[in-house]
């Protein structure tokens, strides 16, 4: 399993996908071997999740540098040194160590996971040198319209995805929209494009700290939580802040009724600037990152949850959506009603979906949702939808896919 995002890396929800597969696969007949990067290549580290890696898991960490931090001169570096990504240096020692692991452990299949594209570069090299079948876990689309913005980086992404489409036994995506996009892009390989969604980890929720909730009847503000990164383009909160400013000016919704908490947004300066511009700062709480299980406990403790996803990500679903389902709280989805995120929410029985790019729609929907939550009338996710989204269920699907990769039907 070739994965850049693996403990002790911190700051990306993507770490959960590989980590939980590593936890659950042994009980399903597969023993993972992990090939990751040396920790100094990570922007941030946190030992919190290292204890979740099973003690008998073989983990190799190949030498890697972050071009932007380790190879810059006077805050600049050459573009080719960061294509397809800033960790391309990981490739060289990872291929060497991967070949050693193949020789020592005789694995049955190679699995690699994006969004660090270099992982697929490494996997392709190991596949070509060893002949082992390869499963390329794309998660989300790679080369998209306007992304990456740098044309040469876009070309490198296109080459990598085309190589995976041609060589990998299966290409795996986390949403139906992403799989359809690649089935249309590579029609000759369409039957090898499959969906394996993200999910939540029940054991992590069960071990999360439990704090007694303060009832809304006490007169406190309703707390709505956005947990995780606020991307300036893909999760642009501008229209939300404009709606909040309008509602306060009209007296329709006031800060003593609602607080929106942004936890670990990464872009705190952007949030503060937008709040001041639209005079919505009294509605907003901006809070630092906390350990993973504490973040889950916070989802269980607040009154409602917020997800934002712009229409340029219609073929993507934020991984935290599945944790939101398990938390059992009302969810406000600010997203394109035609996108995969909206469909995932509606399929779970959560119908509070409003366009992220419409202050008018948000200003209309938000007070009504707050009122329904206070009156106990807001909907929550269907139990069956929650059950189906567990990481154990996703790992079972992966185990079945690995069997097909090793033993293809003639």
| pLDDT tens figures, 263-303 | 999 999 999 999 999 999 999 999 999 999 999 999 999 99
Same domain, yes or no: 64 and 192? yes
Same domain, yes or no: 172 and 210? no
pLDDT at 77: 85
Same domain, yes or no: 169 and 292? no
CA-to-CA distance for 261 and 329, rounded, in angstroms?
15
**Residue 333 predicted with pLDDT over 80:** yes
Same domain, yes or no: 133 and 220? no
Same domain, yes or no: 289 and 327? yes
Same domain, yes or no: 301 and 232? yes
CA-to-CA distance for 35 and 73, rounded, in angstroms?
30
In a domain, 3, yes or no: no
CA-to-CA distance for 87 and 293, rounded, in angstroms?
28
- Provide the domain count of the chain: 2
pLDDT at 73: 84
pLDDT at 214: 66
Contact 132, 107 (CB under 8 A): yes
Which two tokens mark 275?
């709040």
For residue range 109-131, list pLDDT tens digits in order: 999 999 999 999 999 999 999 99
In a domain, 219, yes or no: yes
CA angle 270, 276, 281 (to 5 degrees): 95
Residues spanned by the domain of 227: 204-388
Same domain, yes or no: 164 and 294? no
Same domain, yes or no: 315 and 284? yes
* Three-class secondary structure of residue 258 per DSSP: strand
Q: Which residues contact 145 (CB under 8 A, 6 or more apart)?
A: none
CATH number of residue 239's parent domain: 3.40.50.2000
Same domain, yes or no: 146 and 36? yes
pLDDT at 82: 87
Type and span of the H or E element at 288: none
In a domain, 5, yes or no: no
In a domain, 83, yes or no: yes
In a domain, 2, yes or no: no
Mean pLDDT of 344-349: 97
Same domain, yes or no: 234 and 372? yes
Mean pLDDT of 82-98: 96
**Residue 14 predicted with pLDDT over 90:** no
Q: For residues 216 and 186, which has the higher predicted lDDT (pLDDT)?
A: 186
Same domain, yes or no: 60 and 116? yes
Same domain, yes or no: 227 and 161? no
Mean pLDDT of 384-405: 95
Give the count of beta carbons closer than 10 Å to the beta carbon of residue 105.
11
In a domain, 9, yes or no: no
Query: Residue 294 CA to chain centroid, in angstroms?
Result: 18
In a domain, 246, yes or no: yes
In a domain, 4, yes or no: no
């Amino acid at each position: 399993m070739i994965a850049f995002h693996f403990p002790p890396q911190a700051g990306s929800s993507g770490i959960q996908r590989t980590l939980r597969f590593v936890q659950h696969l042994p009980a399903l007949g597969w023993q993972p071997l992990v090939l990751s990067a040396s920790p100094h290549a990570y922007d941030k580290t946190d030992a919190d999740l290292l204890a979740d890696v099973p003690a008998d898991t073989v983990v190799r960490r190949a030498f890697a540098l972050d071009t932007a931090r380790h190879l810059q001169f006077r805050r600049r570096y050459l573009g080719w040194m960061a294509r397809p990504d800033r960790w391309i240096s990981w490739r060289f020692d990872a291929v060497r160590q991967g070949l050693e692991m193949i020789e020592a452990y005789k694995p049955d299949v190679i699995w690699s996971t994006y969004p660090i594209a270099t992982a697929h570069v490494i996997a392709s090299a190991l596949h070509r040198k060893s002949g082992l079948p390869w499963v390329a876990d794309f998660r989300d689309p790679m080369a998209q319209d306007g992304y990456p913005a740098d044309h040469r980086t876009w070309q490198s992404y296109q080459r990598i995805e085309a190589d995976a489409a041609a060589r990998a036994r299966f290409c795996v995506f986390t949403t139906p929209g992403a799989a359809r996009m690649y089935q249309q892009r590579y029609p000759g390989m369409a039957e090898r494009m499959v969906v394996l969604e993200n999910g939540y980890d029940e054991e992590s929720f069960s071990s999360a700290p439990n704090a007694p909730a303060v009832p809304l009847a006490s007169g406190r503000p309703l707390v709505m939580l956005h947990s995780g990164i606020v991307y300036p383009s893909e999760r642009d909160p501008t229209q939300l802040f404009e709606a909040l400013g309008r509602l306060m000016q009209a007296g329709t919704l006031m800060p003593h009724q609602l607080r929106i908490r942004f936890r670990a947004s990464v872009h705190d300066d952007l949030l503060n600037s937008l709040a001041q511009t639209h005079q919505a700062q009294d509605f907003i709480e901006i809070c630092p990152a906390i350990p993973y299980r504490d973040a889950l406990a916070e989802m269980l403790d607040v009154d409602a949850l917020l997800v934002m996803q712009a229409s340029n990500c219609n073929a993507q679903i934020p991984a935290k959506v599945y944790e939101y389902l398990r938390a059992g709280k009302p969810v406000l989805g600010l997203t394109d009603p035609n996108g995969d995120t909206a469909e995932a929410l509606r399929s779970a029985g959560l119908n509070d979906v409003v366009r992220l790019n419409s202050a008018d729609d948000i200003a209309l929907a938000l007070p009504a949702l707050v009122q329904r939550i206070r009156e106990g009338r807001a909907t929550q996710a269907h139990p069956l939808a929650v059950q189906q989204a567990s990481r154990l269920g996703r790992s079972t699907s992966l185990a079945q896919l690995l069997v097909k990769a090793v033993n293809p039907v003639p």
